[in-house]
Structure 1
Amino acid sequence: MPAIRLFGLPTDINSSFERGAAGGPAAVRAALWSDRGNMASELGGEIGADIAFTDDGDLPLTENSAHDDAAIRRHVAMLCEDGEVPLALGGDHAVTFPLVEAAATCFGPVNILHFDAHPDLYDDFAGNPRSHASPFARICEGGHAKRLVQAGIRTLNHHCREQAARFGVEIVPMAGFAPDKVPVLEGPLYISIDLDGIDPSEAPGVAHPEPGGLTVREVLAVLHRQTAPIVGADIVEHHPGRDIGGVTAILGAKLVRELAALIDRNGPYRP
């Protein structure tokens, strides 16, 4: 089974409206290793017992996007060479671009399952093409996505509708949502979870809360249906300053365990 390497990306230099997501990795990590819970997943696997799992801490990022992108790509390439699967904690969603770019360099274009309230397809946002509102535009432009499926989207404006049509993005609408409406994707599979994809009643600790979102149970149901080998994943956009009682950090920790168990269950990718 593949070994999983957790690492944090404590940066929010590409955030819009409000910074704060740089504190996300530390908050989720504290919840993960807290005695409040344990290392078991709902799939039955347990970190440290039957799931090979290492926490590498945070990458030493800076306030320079180009420098940070290169550092992220190098780290993912190193893990790829060793046959290990990266599981990243953001940070704002801009980090997903270099993560996917590096995965696609290793494996070829990937299939992406993306949970979010927002499609993050802006050509640029407020003049910044590396905005956290733009990573999937950069991914699609670069040819890194074989297929991009988005669940939880509920803020689709005219520009992003045009972008989705341009790139052939498959959006599963929240109206009438059911987990079985999300396709089961082939490998190599990359999973990106923006915590604001989940309803703010269950995940208040985000900078851009949007009512009417996914429940935790719906997210888990979609994840557990995926059977393809996973070559990378991220959990992003936790803003500890907006959290209530640490519940969003605890949710992030649960998603770490569930993703680790899913990666372990689905096995290594073999082209």
Structure 2
Amino acid sequence: MMSGIPTLLGAPYDASSSYLRGPSQAPPRIREALYSPSSNLSTESGRSLAETTWWHDAGDLSLSSSVTARADIEAGVATVLRADGRPLVLGGDHSVTYPVVRAVAAAGGPFTLLHFDAHADLYDELDGDRFSHACPFARIMEEGLVTRLVQVGIRTLTAHQREQAARFGVEVIDMRAVAAGVRPQVSGPVYVSLDLDVLDPAFAPGVSHWEPGGLSTRELLTMLQAMDGDVVAADLVEYNPLRDPTGMTGMVAAKVLKELLDAMTR
């Protein structure tokens, strides 16, 4: 589908959040944690982010207007793709995934979307907003942008979202299934969308929506490391620094970021 160097791109947008603002402040805080002297830049496989020949940081998009934000995000990701980059987008709320996926799909070739989250984000609309952070996967599936949607860690399905999942043929591996030993099986080109609230709040309290009963950090990292697919793009969203006074969730985000970058080079 596409080659290229993993490239970070910040999308500091949270105007489509339904509960709390704050994720727009996440990209610089994740970078701050990444470079914290309390840790180091090595992935668990031994690859070092200190070596910048294998990955790139394109900085943050300027998203001054919520009216044009989706178009600006899509255009920014398209720029990364034209420069032979594999985008890893730092949100922002989960609404950013829709324009990112649009740009990746336009670059050519079918792919699977592997989505880690407490929430299915399949609402047709929420509070009158069809582009809410609770709706991106409904928009993605309506437009036929991916060949397969696999959701992992879900534990908040409403009746409406169950209907939506059935309508779109979504493969939902909820937390009860995870507890029973089910793991995602993906191959070929894969886009990974990772909402930090897939983790239990005990591991990542710095998110807007606390939903008990989630993955441990270790379980998530193991799933990322076990992926067989070719990770052509990814996003890491919904870190809310305003709910992270100790910075612990920022360090979790940085750890996940390192392993995502590593997965994009396998």
> What is the TM-score of this pair, normalised by structure 2?
0.95
1:229 equivalent to 2:237? Answer no
- Is the contact made by 2:173 and 2:184 (CA closer than 8 Å) also made in structure 1? no
1:99 equivalent in structure 2: 100
Q: 1:28 is matched with which residue: 20, 30, 38?
A: 30
Identity of aligned residues (%): 46
Shift of 1:70: 1.6
Question: In structure 2, how many angstroms separate the alpha carbons of the residues matched to 1:187 and 1:72?
Answer: 25
Change (3 A) 1:41 1:62: same
2:71 equivalent in structure 1: 70
- Of residues 117-126 and 235-244 in structure 1, the stretch that sits farther from structure 2 once superposed is 235-244
2:134 equivalent in structure 1: 133
Please list every run of 5 or more consecutive structure 2 residues that lacks an aligned counterpart in the other structure: none
1:58 equivalent in structure 2: 60
Question: In structure 1, how many angstroms separate the alpha carbons of the residues matched to 2:123 and 2:79?
Answer: 30
1:220 equivalent in structure 2: 221
> What is the TM-score of this pair, normalised by structure 1?
0.93
2:12 equivalent in structure 1: 10
Structure 1 letter corresponding to 2:12: P
- Is the contact made by 2:152 and 2:184 (CA closer than 8 Å) also made in structure 1? no
- Of residues 134-143 and 30-39 in structure 1, the stretch that sits farther from structure 2 once superposed is 30-39
2:189 equivalent in structure 1: 188
- Is the contact made by 1:46 and 1:261 (CA closer than 8 Å) also made in structure 2? no
Question: In structure 2, how many angstroms separate the alpha carbons of the residues matched to 1:233 and 1:101?
Answer: 13
Question: In structure 2, how many angstroms separate the alpha carbons of the residues matched to 1:45 and 1:124?
Answer: 42
How big is the alpha-carbon RMSD for the aligned residues of Structure 1 and Structure 2? Answer: 1.6
Question: In structure 2, how many angstroms separate the alpha carbons of the residues matched to 1:19 and 1:131?
Answer: 13
Secondary structure of the residue aligned to 2:33 is helix
Aligned pair count reads 264
Shift of 1:148: 0.5
Structure 2 letter corresponding to 1:197: V
Structure 2 letter corresponding to 1:143: G
Matches within 5 A, 1:75-90: 75-90=76-91
Change (3 A) 1:47 1:180: farther
Change (3 A) 1:41 1:179: farther
1:253 equivalent to 2:246? Answer no
2:110 equivalent in structure 1: 109
Question: In structure 2, how many angstroms separate the alpha carbons of the residues matched to 1:78 and 1:184?
Answer: 31
Question: In structure 1, how many angstroms separate the alpha carbons of the residues matched to 2:104 and 2:188?
Answer: 12
Change (3 A) 1:32 1:179: farther
- Is the contact made by 2:200 and 2:212 (CA closer than 8 Å) also made in structure 1? yes
Question: In structure 2, how many angstroms separate the alpha carbons of the residues matched to 1:122 and 1:43?
Answer: 38
